[in-house]
Amino acid sequence: MARPREFDRDSVLQLARQVFWARGYAATSTDELLKAMGIGRQSLYNAFGGKWQLYLEVLADYQQGSISDHLRRLQQPVSALEGIRALLEGLAVDDDTLRGLGCMGLGSTSEFGAGEPELQALRDKGSAALLARLTLRIKEGQASGEIDTQPDPTLMARYVLMSMTGIQLAARGGAKQDELCELARFATDRLQPR
């Protein structure tokens, strides 16, 4: 008869996230994970399958939460332009430690590039959802006259995604909150009619 799990899965996933987010996959040893999670090696393998499967689960959970947060900030204001500004400024969190971690998804991209199909599929899914919603908001802003109508809305949405990447990378590199907010406003202002 198998022993029941003696830990809360969601809690240990959050503990594993903290380690992976700060150190990346390769720099995180299994022993570091076990210590941080407070579980034994066999429990790790029984519950998650191994370090790689744990990483995928942690990253998928992180991505789901971050995409939901991005979409909430994007959708909340009535103004499409203000929604895009809120999306970008929301990346500049006020907690220095959290801001310094940057984006776990971007960290994964930096570490693995496009070399891991499972990670690429996860990124593609998240990017597609955000790109689609950004494109719709830009079309709304173009229809209301607050966003330039000349550039293609999908191209503008990709520009916003690229700006997100730059802000998140700058955060990981130690940029201050006010600097990141200034970049967010600058990027958003480029969308307005000239």
Per-residue H/E/C for 103-145 = CHHHHHHHHHCCCCHHHHHHHHHHHHHHHHHHHHHHHHHHHHC
Instruction: From residue 99, give the alpha-carbon distance in Å to each of 51, 90, 161, 183, 188.
Output: 25, 11, 18, 15, 20
Q: How confident is the model at residue 4 (pLDDT cuts 50, 70, 90)?
A: very low
CATH code, domain carrying 149: 1.10.357.10
With respect to residue 166, please indicate whether it lies within any of the assigned structural domains.
Answer: yes
Q: How confident is the model at residue 167 (pLDDT cuts 50, 70, 90)?
A: very high
3-class state of residue 147 by DSSP: coil
pLDDT digits (tens, 9 = 90+) for 56-72: 999 999 999 999 999 99
With respect to residue 36, please indicate whether it lies within any of the assigned structural domains.
Answer: no
Q: Which domain holds residue 119?
A: 60-189
Give the global pTM.
Answer: 0.90
With respect to residue 179, please indicate whether it lies within any of the assigned structural domains.
Answer: yes
With respect to residue 10, please indicate whether it lies within any of the assigned structural domains.
Answer: no
CA distance 157 to 146: 15
Please check the confidence at residue 29 and state whether its pLDDT lies above 90: yes
Mean pLDDT, residues 1-11: 69
With respect to residue 141, please indicate whether it lies within any of the assigned structural domains.
Answer: yes
With respect to residue 123, please indicate whether it lies within any of the assigned structural domains.
Answer: yes
Note the residue count of the chain: 194
Q: How confident is the model at residue 134 (pLDDT cuts 50, 70, 90)?
A: very high
Please check the confidence at residue 156 and state whether its pLDDT lies above 50: yes
Q: What is the pLDDT of residue 194?
A: 87
Please check the confidence at residue 127 and state whether its pLDDT lies above 60: yes
Please check the confidence at residue 5 and state whether its pLDDT lies above 60: no
Count of domains observed in the chain: 1
With respect to residue 32, please indicate whether it lies within any of the assigned structural domains.
Answer: no
For residue 188, is it left (φ>0), alpha (ψ between -120 and 50) or beta? alpha
With respect to residue 93, please indicate whether it lies within any of the assigned structural domains.
Answer: yes
Q: What percent of the chain has pLDDT over 90?
A: 94
